Amino acid sequence: MSLSIIIITKNEEAQIKDCLESVRFADEIILVDSGSTDKTLSIARAYATRIIETDWKGYSGTKMIALEAATGDWILWLDADERVQPSLQEEIQEVTKTGGVTGYYIARKAIFLGRWIKHCGWYPGYVIRLFKKEGARFSENLVHESVYIDGPAAHLKSPLIHYTDTSLDHYFIKFNKYTTLAARELFQSNYSCHLTDLIGRPIYSFIKMYIIKRGFLDGVQGLILCILSACYVFTKYAKLWHYREQNKTKE
């Protein structure tokens, strides 16, 4: 049975080479790019079976284009900041040969500021990434898109490597984008923002990650991550509050 890698990109020149290099074993690589202005495409041409350039159609819409273009029986969905290690490669090759189930959960080993975050509730963080093409589709959630499969799923033993952030500047650009998306989603669902959301939720998020999920065992990186997560929650609700205020003045 054949394996297709699907991957969507925009300006990933720093990550894309190592990523594609780690999946050369696949039968094909489908890369859907939405308007990169850097060297992403010229790097990808050496690896990808097919490159599709398209406007941004949202996470799920853009991934659907990749999914539909894939010709393999099995799909491995990868992000540019992820790598497949040899042990995972062996497992993937093994299960796609036999394949009793429809999809596989894969753990992700997140590397944050140079350290594997083992706690904070981040590991193993199983996600379905390997699945049979037939019947699969992506969900519509704005921020954390996931895949729906039509049948049972099992777990693989080896993790993916996920390089979360190379630079904090870059992290904060994403931070800004994702908090806006998340706040809009809450706004559309007509959720109202209270002081408990703005103050209580970030504190709760910090305590949960740093103490209950034992983030304190992850060194300075663990502390930074837990505070950043609290900032993330705070910013999300602060943006929600501001959307609602702006809406009030409009009305």
Shortest reach from residue 3's CB to another protein, in Å = 26
Shortest reach from residue 205's CB to another protein, in Å = 14
Q: Is 200 helix (H, G, I), strand (E, B) or coil?
A: helix
Find tokens 């054949």 and name the residue. Answer: 2
Closest to another protein by CB, 131 vs 237, is 237
Shortest reach from residue 170's CB to another protein, in Å = 10
From 211, 209, 205, 213, select the one nearest 233 (Cα to Cα).
205
Measured between its terminal Cα atoms, the distance across the chain in Å is: 58
Closest to another protein by CB, 96 vs 229, is 229
Shortest reach from residue 66's CB to another protein, in Å = 28
Closest to another protein by CB, 45 vs 242, is 242
The residues, any chain, with a CB within 8 Å of residue 202's CB and separated by 6 or more, are 230, 231, 233, 234, 237
Q: Is 48 helix (H, G, I), strand (E, B) or coil?
A: coil
Shortest reach from residue 180's CB to another protein, in Å = 6
Closest to another protein by CB, 46 vs 220, is 220
Give just the sign of the alpha carbon dihedral 92, 94, 99, 101: negative
Task: Give the DSSP letter string of 125-169.
Answer: --EEEEEESTT-EE---SSS--EE-SS-EEE-SSPEEEEEES-HH
Closest to another protein by CB, 92 vs 233, is 233
Binding site for another protein (CB under 8 A): 109, 111, 113-116, 161, 168-169, 172-173, 175-176, 179-180, 198, 219-220, 223-224, 227-228, 231, 234-235, 238-239, 241-242, 245-246, 249
Cα(215)–Cα(207) distance, integer angstroms: 9
Closest to another protein by CB, 31 vs 110, is 110
The residues, any chain, with a CB within 8 Å of residue 52's CB and separated by 6 or more, are 30, 31, 32, 33, 65, 66, 69
Shortest reach from residue 40's CB to another protein, in Å = 23
